[in-house]
């Protein structure tokens, strides 16, 4: 096998817009497979005040009355997949290329962990029952089954593409994940209680994959002789540390003045990177940093170290694929001691809104925020925070390469690829080649 080419997609929110991204992927004739990294459906209703549904009525993307509710029971989850499969763009894509799939949180409920979810309350009944019913509907509709006899939920498995790629598909969501930490529990009158936070987020007891899946992954990486070890999974693995004062604003959803603060901090960081002098106070502002997203691997740092340490010890070429954030990213993956281990390529969403909407950014603020975040997050090499799209990842013996493509709108069926913002990154195999590069 000389090459393998995957299209990577995630986060298709039906009321948020048209599946123009699926349409674009279906036009390609060069794909071996589509990898769907989750949020194939969302559990919300399409009421105007529901997540990302403000335009649903205008776009004629509301759900039929019998399914226009938050999904909790099996019959409703089941029906939602049927509605999605009526979408012509999704149908066309399924008719052309096979899918390799994993779920993320919204196949059950927002920000799920093993025994609960942010979008589940006791009035909605027992969470374990809801989860099993949601996962049952997924198994009924998607090309995937539990990997063990007697299991209702284990889906970690490896796809082998000759001796070129071993694609290890993971469940970071429902099987072994501890509850997410919340910054609001760590803020004091003087800011973030960094010592207590660092101890908790790095605890060796904290799990994401869980012991069984982690053991399997380490063994699989050990057995594999393929050139590329690829993790197909939901959430960002890269270290995305941002200044604590920004995190306070984000965690308290106080977005006024955020673009200006980001600009100021980025300017200080630029001076520091250029070897300029900062006052002690200025240095403290940018060096007091913590992870931006505690729902990502950044919130589960011990297991991240175990995975990266395993790849390092085995001298493997590691490429991590991620979805979940609705934005496109490329990260250099380093262990806590700063050793470069591998790279991460993350895809934008099919239609769910991204950081631009969450941070309430407009116009020039978007480019400013991209530049600022790019400077402030050390391991981050590329980002697009405001467009919907997909990613193609091509593996050969010489390189692994990601190409990102973005549509200019999901709010109209009349759309185009925004070619000005297409982007690429690559990485070479071997101990000297494991950094992101920008192809010529």
> Cβ of residue 106: shortest distance to Fe ion, in angstroms?
6
Give me the least distance between CB of 51 and Fe ion, in Å please: 10
- Residue among 6, 8, 11, 242 that touches Fe ion (CB under 5 A): 11
> How far is it, in rounded angstroms, from Cα 103 to Cα 110?
12
Pick between residue 304 and residue 326 the one whose CB is nearest to Fe ion: 326
CB nearer Fe ion, residue 99 or residue 302: 99
Between 166 and 356, CB nearer to Fe ion: 356
User: Which segment (33-41, 59-67, 94-102, 245-253) binds Fe ion by CB under 5 A?
Assistant: 33-41
Residue 324 Cβ, how far from Fe ion at the closest point, in Å? 6
Name which of 142 and 226 has its Cβ closer to Fe ion.
142
In angstroms, give the least distance from the CB of 326 to Fe ion.
Answer: 6
Closest approach of Fe ion to the CB of residue 218, in Å: 28
Binding residue (CB under 5 A) for Fe ion from 9, 22, 31, 39: 39
Output 80 or 434, the one with its CB closest to Fe ion. Answer: 80
Nearer to Fe ion, 208 or 341 (CB): 208
The piece of 58-66, 192-200, 346-354, 355-363 that touches Fe ion (CB under 5 A) is 346-354
Number of residues counted as binding Fe ion (CB under 5 A): 3
Return the structure tokens found at 97: 């290329």
Does 379 sit near Fe ion (CB under 5 A)? no
**Footprint on residues 85-124 left by Fe ion (CB under 5 A):** none
| Contact in structure between 268 and 286 (CB atoms under 8 Å) | yes
Q: Which is nearer to Fe ion, 226 or 350 (CB)?
A: 350
- Of 50-58, 252-260, 351-359, 376-384, the segment contacting Fe ion by CB under 5 A is 351-359
Tell me which residue of 48, 45, 43, 81 sits closest to 65, measured CA to CA. Answer: 45
Interface contacts to Fe ion, rule CB under 5 A: 11, 39, 352
């Amino acid at each position: 096998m000389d090459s393998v080419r995957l299209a990577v997609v995630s986060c298709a929110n039906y009321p948020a817009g048209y599946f123009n991204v699926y349409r674009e992927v279906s036009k390609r004739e060069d794909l071996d497979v589509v990898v769907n990294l989750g949020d194939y459906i969302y559990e919300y209703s399409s009421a105007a005040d529901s997540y990302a549904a403000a335009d649903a009525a205008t776009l004629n993307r509301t759900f039929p009355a019998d399914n226009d509710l938050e999904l909790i029971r099996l019959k409703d989850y089941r029906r939602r997949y049927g509605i999605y499969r009526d979408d012509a763009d999704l149908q066309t894509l399924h008719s052309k290329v096979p899918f390799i799939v994993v779920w993320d949180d919204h196949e059950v409920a927002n920000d799920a962990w093993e025994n609960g979810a942010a979008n589940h309350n006791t009035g909605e009944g027992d969470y374990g029952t809801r989860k099993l019913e949601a996962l049952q509907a997924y198994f009924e509709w998607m090309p995937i089954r539990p990997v063990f006899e007697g299991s209702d939920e284990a889906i970690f498995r490896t796809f082998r593409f000759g001796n070129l790629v071993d694609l290890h598909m993971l469940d970071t969501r429902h099987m072994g994940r501890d509850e997410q930490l919340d910054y609001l529990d760590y803020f004091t009158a003087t800011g973030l209680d960094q010592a207590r936070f660092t101890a908790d987020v790095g605890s060796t007891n904290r799990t994401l994959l869980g012991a069984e899946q982690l053991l399997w992954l380490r063994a699989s990486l050990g057995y594999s002789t393929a050139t590329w070890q690829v993790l197909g999974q939901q959430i960002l693995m890269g270290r995305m540390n941002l200044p604590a004062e920004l995190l306070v604003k984000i965690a308290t959803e106080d977005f006024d003045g955020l673009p200006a603060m980001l600009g100021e901090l980025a300017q200080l960081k630029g001076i520091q990177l250029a070897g300029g002098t900062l006052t002690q106070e200025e240095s403290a502002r940018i060096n007091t940093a913590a992870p931006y997203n505690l729902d990502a691997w950044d919130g589960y740092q011990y297991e991240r170290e175990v995975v990266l340490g395993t790849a390092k010890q085995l001298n493997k070429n590691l490429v991590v694929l991620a979805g979940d954030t609705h934005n496109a990213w490329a990260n250099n993956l380093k262990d806590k001691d700063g050793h470069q281990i591998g790279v991460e390529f993350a895809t934008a969403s099919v239609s769910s809104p991204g950081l631009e909407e969450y941070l309430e950014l407009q116009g020039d603020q978007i480019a400013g925020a991209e530049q600022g975040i790019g400077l402030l997050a050390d391991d981050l090499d590329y980002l697009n925070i405001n467009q919907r799209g997909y990613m193609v990842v091509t593996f050969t013996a010489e390189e692994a390469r990601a190409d990102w493509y973005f549509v200019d709108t999901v709010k109209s069926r009349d759309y185009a690829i925004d070619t000005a913002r297409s982007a690429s990154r690559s990485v070479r195999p071997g101990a000297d080649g494991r950094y992101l590069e920008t192809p010529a």
